[in-house]
Amino acid sequence: MAQLTNSNASKKAIQLYDFICSMRGKTILSGQQEFPSDHNHSEELRYIQSVSGHLPAILGLDYIHNDFEGVNERAKAWHEKGGIVSICWHWGIPPYGVGYPSSQKEIDMKELLTPGTELYRGLLDNLDAVANTLKELQAADIPVLWRPLHEFDGGWFWWGKCGSELFIELWRLMYDRYTNLHQLNNLIWVLGYSGEKKDGWYPGDEYVDIIGGDAYSEGIHEELYYFVKKQSSKDMPICHHENGPLPEPGLLKAKGIDWSWFLTWHTIHIHEQNSADYVNYVYNHPYVTTLESLPRIYTE
């Protein structure tokens, strides 16, 4: 069974990772990304529960608006319910950018990654601010499926606009700073490809714990599954990192496409790309694990 890249990983992080590894081919964990609105954080969860009677096993959160306190509060509450916490970061362009539009702007990545430049100092300031936020979850003994710099190979976010070499340098910088300097031992590092299926972007087995891909069209996405699987020489879990339409559980099982989880995107994606009847079908399928059917993951 695969092991976490961080040799100092917390006990709960190890237990969560071991659980995910052990469930491969036996089930798919259900997941839902929340809408990062000031007043509407739980709408997706209420909807799924109302049409299916269940909640997802994984809650996806996002530091997109620098809502560090709010995201951490909801992460703690979800962990307290027995759920699994996933966090991404739509990182606004350093040093002062915030939000989705900013994450799609362009930046001189060479200058950004050159020690001593103003941009480099801004980069480290941003990284350290989020590291300090994640330390609050570490102090609460909450393991996190940490999935930064997602859809890097798509070329629509600043961290992927300047090519694979600079992206890999940025990923490794973040990993090293968070793991070795900040000693964030509660993170499980999740690498999320876009659906573009481009080779040459993999940071290396020593920097990745779980690999995955995003797809917003219908289907179980066999080609994407096998593409991301071949990027690593390590037999790590493979996740349907983000999705629109929910993958058909029976077909996943029949074809052996063992995505470890799906994470449906918010608003129109859960509502308009999936009918209420289909959400009910998926969340009540015997191959799907929900919050209510999660076994005990952590032992003292």
CA–CA separation, 159 vs 113, rounded Å? 11
Nearest of 16, 13, 10, 32 to residue 261 by alpha carbon = 32
Closest by CA to 210, choosing from 243, 194, 230, 188, is: 188
φ/ψ of residue 73, rounded to 5: -60, -45
The CA distance from 168 to 157, in Å, is 14
CA–CA separation, 63 and 148 (whole Å): 10
- Give residues with Cβ within 8 angstroms of 300, minimum separation 6: none
Amino acid at position 22, single letter: S
CA distance 141 to 56: 21
- Answer yes or no: 242 catalytic: yes
Exposed / middle / buried, residue 9 (Cβ in 10 Å: 0-12, 13-18, 19+): buried
> Catalytic one among 43, 44, 73, 151?
151
Q: Which two tokens stand for residue 133?
A: 């936020």
| Residues 92 and 67 sit within 8 Å (Cβ to Cβ) | no
CB 31 within 8 A of CB 42: no
Out of 34, 44, 242, 248, which one is annotated catalytic? 242
Residues designated as active site = 151, 242
